[in-house]
Structure 1
Amino acid sequence: MVHPEGAAAAAGDQQYGQAPPDYSYGLEDSGFSDAAIRRGFIRKVYLTLMIQLLATVGIICAFLYWDALWQWTRANNWFSYTMMAVVVVLILAMSCCDNLRRQVPLNFIALGLFTIAEGLMLGSVVVYFNAEAVLWAVGATALVSLSLSLFAVQTKWDFTRANGSLWVFAWTLFSFALLCAILRSQYLYILYACLGTLLFSLYLVFDTQLILGGKHRKYEVSPEEYVFAALNLYLDIVLMFFLLLQVIGLQSS
């Protein structure tokens, strides 16, 4: 069986290659000083995220339960790498071009194309796992994401100050992924997937607090960056799903 650790590592690079969003320091200069603007921003972000996740789950189910598509994908490995390249190009374009992620309707078109490409890439990976493992990974990802989002809202711990520490952790994990690819040990794969899940769990809390802002947060994301904020949350959840699927799939194999 082909393990998707390479795809997960490459997808993990998407998180690290993104341009940082515009930060605001303090509420006096923040676009969120108006509570109505802040609530509207949060609604836009989470509505966009929900649509992305529903579309992604639908694409994954098509790859799992449509036999002709399942067989074609397993017989054509180039499809996974092509979708991976498309995803990376779209992320770089949205990260580097302010107009592309801020100007309507270009931002929604770009985000829609990215979501479809990401869903196709995920679908091309899940065909190497049995349907039960994929569904368990989907359920675990949903539970963990909801729990961490509620924690990020309620806690007064400011994870936005930990940006540097998360960056170091991310590159350390990337180095560990290279070691796993060389040694090809199943136990190292499982350890790598567990550490990756922890990393992107922390990133999910971090990005959620950037979106919510408030007096207990040092940094906030600009209200104009709702598409980029939704993209960050989506990537955190997708990469967490990748790694949880790897843990569940390897333990059941």
Structure 2
Amino acid sequence: MSKPSAPPPYEDRNPLYPGAPPPGGYGQPSAPPAGYPAYPAYPQPGYGHPAGYPQPMPPIHPMPMNFGPGYDGERAVSDSFGPGEWDDRKVRHTFIRKVYTIISVQLLVTVGIIAIFTFVRPVSEFVRRNVAVYYASYAVFMATYLTLACCQGPRRRFPWNIILLAIFTLAMGFMTGTISSMHNTKAVIIAMIITAVVSISVTIFCFQTKVDFTSCTGLFCVLGIVMMVTGIVTAIVLAFKYVYWLHMLYAALGAICFTLFLAYDTQLVLGNRKHTISPEDYITGALQIYTDIIYIFTFVLQLVGDRN
């Protein structure tokens, strides 16, 4: 069999792919026969799109969220937090340790301030004579609390979150120390012991119980509104005439309500419930639990304490 002296030409077809277009590409189609409409010109691919349609966007792949065991599809977490290289259990344990470390430092600072205001006579006499200092610390407390509670930027940005939390702790400690200086030392110590027992008991209960306080968010909102309205009414009444039983009733109601708030906030930090705090918001967890403990102490102090 004789072999061809030269390969076949490639001007009009590819011998491996007979249907492939020639190297120069196809031109516009020739004129149609008489009686048929003209063919429209085809746009080149990748250059524009038909009028009236927006430029197509690349598909966005949702990030899978790993919420750990017990998730029921309704957990409230931060959208910007994903599992990454850590599983949810390890992240949650690290978050809990960080929150309770911050709370421990806050409580140590507060106890130290209370001790100074209680045992150092010149300091207690100074804050009693200068009530304006207490209201100044209250203004600082409210400003820092609202900033940390409502503004995500300062709350998550280091070191501003730590600085604001330190200012908040000092202001709260000063207020608590001022209140403690108006009661005798024995009542302050008893109130501290009761608060510590209640706080530890609530924390252990939240670790062990299957009751989900976070599923009753609406109830706790109503409870907070009741506390606020009752406090305003009590303050107005006591400003005109001191009524002992009304004061004690409000103090008892406040101690019970903030004990429930402590259980609610503790479960938000622990996780594995219907609602939980994002591991990025450790400042929020520490802020809420610390505030609950301090308010429990002040209300218990009003119940058990006699003014000096």
The TM-score by the shorter chain falls in which range?
0.7 to 0.9
Q: Does 1:84 align with 2:138?
A: yes
Once the 2 structures are TM-superposed, how far is the Cα of residue 123 of structure 1 from its aligned partner? 1.1
Q: Does 1:212 align with 2:270?
A: yes
Q: Does 1:199 align with 2:257?
A: yes
Once the two structures are superposed, the pairs formed by residues 233-244 of structure 1 within 5 Å of their partners are 233-244=289-300
3-state SS, counterpart of residue 220 of structure 1 = coil
TM-score, scaled to structure 2: 0.70
Structure richer in helix, relative to its length: 1
Match of 1:225 in 2: 281
Once the 2 structures are TM-superposed, how far is the Cα of residue 249 of structure 1 from its aligned partner? 1.7
For 1:208 and 1:68, the matched residues in 2 are separated by 38
Q: 8 Å contact 1:79–1:124 — kept in the other structure?
A: no
Q: 8 Å contact 2:76–2:274 — kept in the other structure?
A: no
Q: 2:186 aligns with which of 132, 139, 143?
A: 132
Once the 2 structures are TM-superposed, how far is the Cα of residue 23 of structure 1 from its aligned partner? 2.8
What stretches of structure 2 of length at least 5 have no aligned partner? Answer: 1-74
Equivalent AA in structure 2 for residue 218 of structure 1 = K
Q: Does 1:43 align with 2:97?
A: yes
Match of 2:245 in 1: 187
Match of 1:145 in 2: 199
Once the two structures are superposed, the pairs formed by residues 107-118 of structure 1 within 5 Å of their partners are 107-118=161-172
Match of 1:24 in 2: 77
Change (3 A) 1:30 1:237: farther
Once the 2 structures are TM-superposed, how far is the Cα of residue 148 of structure 1 from its aligned partner? 0.5
Equivalent AA in structure 1 for residue 207 of structure 2 = V
TM-score, scaled to structure 1: 0.84
Equivalent AA in structure 1 for residue 297 of structure 2 = F
For 2:87 and 2:139, the matched residues in 1 are separated by 40
Change (3 A) 1:30 1:210: farther
Once the 2 structures are TM-superposed, how far is the Cα of residue 33 of structure 1 from its aligned partner? 5.2
Deviating 4+ runs (over 6 angstroms): 29-32
Q: CA RMSD in A?
A: 2.0
Once the 2 structures are TM-superposed, how far is the Cα of residue 30 of structure 1 from its aligned partner? 7.6
Q: 8 Å contact 1:193–1:244 — kept in the other structure?
A: yes
3-state SS, counterpart of residue 298 of structure 2 = helix
Change (3 A) 1:170 1:97: closer
Q: Which has the larger radius of gyration?
A: 2
For 1:30 and 1:78, the matched residues in 2 are separated by 49
Q: 1:60 aligns with which of 114, 124, 131?
A: 114
Higher relative contact order (CA 8 A, sep 6+): 1
Identity of aligned residues (%): 39
